[in-house]
Amino acid sequence: MKKKILLSVLLLTTISVDILSSHPPQYEDDGEYSSIATEVTETPFPIVYHTRYPPGCTKIYNQLTKQVGIGKKQFHIPKEIENYKLCKVHCWKYFEDLQSFPSAMVSFILEKNPLYCLSPNWWVRYKEVTPRLLATGGTLQSIYLAIKHGCAINLFGGFSRATMEMGDDLYADIPLAALRALRYRDINKVLIVDTGNQKNGHQEMFKELNKADKVDIVDSKGWYTGSHAQNNGYTLTTTTNTLSHWAPEAFDKKNYNIQRKKMVKTYFDSLKACLNEGFQKQNPKFIIYNSGTTFHVKKMDHSDKEISLTPEEIRDRDQHIFNMALQKEIPIVMLLSGNSKSVDSIENLYKNVIPNFKKD
């Protein structure tokens, strides 16, 4: 509420601009899903990257090209997402404001320094808006690549905190990707695996879009399904939050490594149990995996403690989820959000897992 009030005050002080029509343009089918792809690579390898992605993505890209030996022409280059497609998951007023007042909107949504709102609009578009438009286009392109090759990875994207109006990120690429996947004839259920995130707008967004019965969600609390919920809502069918009443009030520095090891083991065990049970009950046909690098435990005073995963732990978790998709022959898209800690995991997937997926 504070965000909306402060933003409204700031917008009233800015120079007025011509407001577009209050109605969004009608959505049109773009035909072939491959139309989002740009340059055709010589040897298809399902990784999406653009030079305008953030530095964390560039770090991963450099290691994959220089150390792992993946040729630069093997990467898929995304285009910016078109405006009419964004209107599928965002209200038109939000989209209008973001186009007209990028400095103010980006400053509040991404929780930047208050002085950030004084930055020139062209610079904010270049620094923050355009990379996310490219990443959203890359997420949609990854859907097509995963259908074709069995899996795909977008080095950016995964904006799970975005909502229809004003969340904590600009564009809701994950719901948009789920809607895209559901347009394929053989896909009637999409699973979103959002590891490590305590906050997302997926449930409410799919409920508003009347697609709750088509999408299941796994996050740090468990498996949410709308398949049998009343009023097209969500219910938590499997809980994985076994750490809630276990985490100590204060972490003993002397025994922290022992405590952390137990928490990580519990996190992995509960995640695996949740996925195994959910797969058996819900039978998803497509997976969107938002790879996080942290998880949270709830202490006895109800405050949250964030635990960072090591590169080795991220690698093991990612490989487990990819292997589950491989065994069940379910296409999977992985979104990194620019996490440079995932470099070792991507290298491991490239060498040991991705070659086992089906190829055209």
Q: Using CA atoms, how far apart are residues 263 and 360, in angstroms rounded to an integer?
A: 41
In a domain? residue 22: no
- Of how many residues is the chain composed? 360
In a domain? residue 65: yes
Looking at the predicted structure, is the pLDDT value of residue 145 above 90?
yes
Per the model's pLDDT, the better-predicted residue between 358 and 25 turns out to be: 358
Tokens (6 digits) for 215: 């999408």
- What CATH number has the domain bearing residue 286? 3.40.800
Lowest-confidence region among 17-21, 108-112, 145-149: 17-21
**CA distances from residue 332 to 31, 210, 267, 269 in whole angstroms, order as listed:** 22, 23, 22, 21
In a domain? residue 280: yes
Q: For 80-114, how does the pLDDT look when each residue is reduced to its tens digit (9 = 90+)? A: 998 888 888 888 887 778 778 888 888 877 777 77
Q: Using CA atoms, how far apart are residues 284 and 145, in angstroms rounded to an integer?
A: 18
- Phi and psi at residue 39, in whole multiples of 5°? -70, 135
- The band of 9, judged by pLDDT with boundaries at 50, 70 and 90, is very low
Looking at the 3D structure of the chain, how many domains does it have?
Answer: 1
Which domain covers residue 110, as residue numbers?
A: 2-14+35-356
In a domain? residue 27: no
| 3 state SS of 156 | coil
Tell me the mean pLDDT in the region 280-286: 87
In a domain? residue 126: yes
- The band of 141, judged by pLDDT with boundaries at 50, 70 and 90, is very high
Q: What is the mean pLDDT of the chain?
A: 77
Q: Are 144 and 184 in contact (CB under 8 A)?
A: no
What confidence score (pLDDT) does residue 320 get? 93
In a domain? residue 19: no
Q: For 173-207, how does the pLDDT look when each residue is reduced to its tens digit (9 = 90+)? A: 999 999 999 999 889 999 998 885 556 667 777 87
Per the model's pLDDT, the better-predicted residue between 137 and 204 turns out to be: 137
In a domain? residue 21: no
Q: For 315-347, how does the pLDDT look when each residue is reduced to its tens digit (9 = 90+)? A: 999 999 999 998 899 999 999 876 777 888 888
Looking at the predicted structure, is the pLDDT value of residue 238 above 70?
no
Sign of the alpha-carbon torsion through 158, 163, 168, 169 = positive
In a domain? residue 72: yes
- Phi and psi at residue 290, in whole multiples of 5°? -95, 105
